Chains A and B, each alone.
Chain A
Amino acid sequence: MKGMLVVLQNDVRDILHSNGFLLVAVIMGIITVGTAVGLPIALNWWLAKGVAWEEAKPLLELFMGLAVNYVPLIVLFTCMATWATEPIAKEKGKGPIESLLATPLTARAVWIGKSLSIFLTAYIIGLIATLIVILAMNLASILPATGHFVLPLPEAFTSFLFLPSLMFALILSGVLFSLITNPSIGQTIIITVGVLLLQVVGQVGGRFLWLLPSWDYALYNLAGAALLGMIAFYLSRTLTKERIILSSKGRWA
């Protein structure tokens, strides 16, 4: 546990000092500001028509649902794609991973420490971005026009807990494959599953909009996270120092 925390702390520090972090922060800043400014303008235009609260509420919840699902998803996905595999590829290629594993650290501590460092950094960025969008939508348009603060509980759980859990499970799988095989395989897994998730949210947003503020949708995310997490932990039985070393020497055990 202690060793895992040391890896986590070190890797978070490395991420924060990397050029990739700067790039992600700038892109996310642009997306967040664009969303936080654009959505309230659209809402203000619509709410200015004098829509009754009862009529507006379901639509505002759907609107909010789209925002709080897309923003963390995009943030987490971008962060994962940037950090989950390339640093591991470098560590495997240049040798630090071998030195790390020759210490008393367990392979599992390295795996979870690295996954958590990516997840926590991405989660905090996602959390900040989502909170900015939620507050901007509510404070700049919904609250002044209706006197209500809109954030249905299922959406809050999905956005802040279940969807990030799903992403964490995906990061665990991606990092696991990056460690025990070629890191490009880990990257392929993350990008493929990540794009699929974006598609699913897109489809839900387009065709089953009513699902977004529901507990059903929240629980789908939770179930997805649990399933992917279980798969990752089941596959982690194959995680050994020998596999990591051999894969870094071009032998995929």
Chain B
Amino acid sequence: MSDAIRLEGISKQLGKREILRDVSFTVKQGDVFGYLGPNGAGKTTTIRILLGLLKLTSGKATILGEDVSRDEARRTVGFVLESDGLYDNKTAEENLWYFARIYGMAEPAESIDRILNLVELRDRAKDKVGTYSKGMRQRLALARAMTHNPELLVLDEPTAGVDPSGQIEVREVILNMAYKEGRTIFLSSHNLDEVQRICNRIALIDRGEIKLYGELEQLQREMSGNEVEVETTEAIAEPLFAELKSLSHLGLRERKDKVLTFVPQEGVRTPDIVSLLVGRGVAIEEVSKKEASLEEIYSAILKEVEPS
């Protein structure tokens, strides 16, 4: 099975400005891939390259195994761009019909009906899109992206400018597409909470370069610094605390009331810490491995690359 998206050292220069520099990553089929970065980092440019709207300056990019420069490569790709790109003077149904026919669907009526139900716009199907709210427009844009039953969905900030309840609605549609319908999703977003909830893999781009890329859970583990929190039933006595502190391989960092935080050295497993504490007569309430939130990872990476 070919990768859904494969970028190999792509660069993009517009005039004298280098927008993307040696960007490489892979999105596997079935992934829900989060593409993060601050404004102007190069996210939309990457998406435009994937959708054949901009040409590469160098490197190689494929989408579902085909070179992105081939227009036919996008026959099984759906997308939502920064602006929803809907025709205000057409109804929701007419917008979907137009794009379904562009994708070569002979009889799209059934598919359109199903998709309008999925995004809960069936009741407003015959209304002009110019009368829609921002959230409804984004849901319709998602519907348009799905009408031709694509294998891959490329979504550029699908919840941008949408109010909180609209964001929840749009997010639900994306989750349906990803986990119920099994589509591969490439999601560019500013919303870290959204990405953390939806995505299994991420890439972080800043100033045209990829700064971080991989499985979200693994990155969270790596970035958390292997922190283990142990909550005891009672606060431990000072002598025991001093003893534990002296065992440097445990890496006891702090004590807050009944919670002990360890950053153990390599090779020391969580059960080793637990058995040592139990051996010292400590009653344990809860043990948890602390994982860095995406927000912490994002801030840490961007702080690293900030010019001094």
Contacts and interface: CB of A to CB of B under 8 A. Distances in A.
Contacts, number: 68
B99 A102 contact: no
A242 B52 CA distance: 8
B228 to A, nearest CB: 47
B48 A2 contact: no
A94 interface: yes
Contacts of B53: 98, 101-102, 241-242, 245
B81 A103 contact: no
Nearest to A103: B102
Nearest to A253: B14
Interface residues on A, range: 20 to 34
Q: Is the interface of A mostly helix, strand, loop or mixed?
A: helix
Contact of B102 (A3, A14, A94, A245): A3
A95 B83 contact: yes
B104 A10 contact: no
Interface in A1-53: 2-3, 6-7, 10, 14, 17
Contact of B71 (A2, A98, A105): A105
Interface residues on B, range: 20 to 34
Given A6-B102, A245-B53, A104 B72 contact: yes
Interface string B66-99: 0000011111000101111111110000000011
Contacts of B54: 241-242, 245
A107 B202 CA distance: 32
30 contacts: A3-B102, A6-B98, A10-B98, A14-B89, A17-B89, A94-B83, A95-B82, A95-B85, A96-B86, A97-B85, A98-B53, A98-B83, A99-B99, A100-B85, A101-B52, A102-B51, A102-B52, A102-B81, A103-B74, A103-B102, A103-B103, A104-B72, A105-B71, A106-B71, A240-B55, A241-B53, A241-B54, A242-B55, A245-B48, A245-B53
Shortest beta-carbon contacts, A-B, top 10: A99-B85, A95-B83, A102-B51, A95-B85, A6-B101, A104-B71, A103-B102, A96-B85, A245-B53, A104-B75
